[in-house]
Amino acid sequence: MITIRPFVKSDFPSVKDIYQQGIDSGEATFQEQAKDYDVWNESLLPSCRLVAESNRQIIGWAALSSTSNRCVYSGIAEVSVYVSSNSQGLGVGNSLLEALIKASEEEGIWTLQAGIFPENKASIHIHSKNGFKVLGIREKLGQMNGIWRDIVFMERRSKVVGL
């Protein structure tokens, strides 16, 4: 059974390990090394940080980051969802994303966006399943190991906030 709950600071070692697994996969982020707690903490919104647990083990996490410091964009956030490599394909990512959407709307966020490597079909699938639409491909957005990578840019507009 998977339980989704708010993140607490003592979860960070497991969160960092899962983040590094995503980095090591080459399919999750341009980041090369998992951030330490202070940098990770500063990069995310203080609310809407979740972890997924199974048998008292953290198997995934999700959080939001700001897309701009301009107040007009305060209701727009970027989604991060990471699942441990041994828990992928079990619905953990989908459960985290569903809970993150609900939490974001409770915080007054009206638009969620995601940038996903095109090769990460599972992530594109769960985002689509949860109402995200592909807005386009951001071609050669950045280099990874000397190779230009594209990003599928997806967005979800709330049906309950910012109408």
Cα 105 to Cα 16: distance, rounded to the nearest angstrom:
26
Q: Give residue limits of the domains in the chain.
A: 3-157
The average pLDDT across 29-48 equals 90
pLDDT in tens, 50-81: 999 999 999 999 999 999 888 888 899 999 99
Q: How many Cβ atoms sit within 10 Å of the Cβ of residue 17? A: 14
Residue type, 161: V
The average pLDDT across 19-29 equals 87
Least confident of 26-30, 46-50, 73-77, 110-114: 26-30
30, 96, 84: which is closest to 58 by C-alpha?
A: 84
Which pLDDT value is given to residue 33?
Answer: 84
DSSP string, 32-82: SSPPPHHHHHHHS-SS--EEEEETTEEEEEEEEEES-SSGGGTTEEEEEEE
Cα 103 to Cα 109: distance, rounded to the nearest angstrom:
9
pLDDT in tens, 119-159: 999 999 999 999 999 999 999 988 888 899 999 999 999 99
The average pLDDT across 15-37 equals 88
Strand 111-116 to strand 76-83: parallel, antiparallel, or no bridges (unpaired)? parallel
**CATH C-level class of 3-157:** alpha beta
